[in-house]
Structure 1
């Protein structure tokens, strides 16, 4: 029998018996509603950092390219986790590169929280710098789709949890 892999999914919660909650914690759901939207935010921020450099800071486009590469790596990881989940196979890697580094030091959830903080900081930077207004129509569509997917899914999970607690 293969040794059980300890991933973010297995370390954070006991086995779930509620079928709706089981769906909410599946890697395919988490990737489509959190991971991939965050990848889109990172990718668009990186692209804007490459294009917009109002102060002419030489390293800024380089930083943009690094963020684009980071976003694409995370996108591959989230896609891989989704595909493995759909084929009922366990992933041997985390949702993102930062959490993967965390896995090496035994703290993937802490590093996933760091990734989330950085991602939210990039989103805020897009908003406060006004770069959001510089997105092309396609980029705007991707931003809106990622935002919608992320916020609506968060609201659905929250609503479902509150209904469960109210009925308990």
Structure 2
């Protein structure tokens, strides 16, 4: 996996790029950073939903049998219901599909989903951090080139002033 990752990343000597190329690279990195940061929102929402699902399974026990509950049909529509079997729950597995599982199986399923989404978020955050570091390096080289150019122009101007 590491070799695949390394083959996707190219090493570029930033000092050999001109200011126009650096500006283009910075613009591309800005776009990628924006895209990745926007991409972080969706898995973060999923992680929060799975965490909420896990927390909602915690209070389920035998004391709930035959108790009235509100069953969510959508995020804003609930209907009255009664707990018939506290040992089995129906969980949404995505794209409109639900399955019936025993309580421990449901908790395990949701915990695995939380762990998976958390791992994916960490990977994506790592990519964002790396892109930000590269962007910062590009900006440093751009600043150094601009200062060198400004210094050369200042030296030329001083030399021209001395000659006249």
Would you call these one fold, judging by a TM-score over 0.5? no
Q: Normalising by the residue count of structure 1, what TM-score does the alignment of the two structures yield?
A: 0.36
Quick check: which one's strand share is greater? 2
Task: Mark the structure with the bigger radius of gyration.
Answer: 2
Q: Normalising by the residue count of structure 2, what TM-score does the alignment of the two structures yield?
A: 0.36
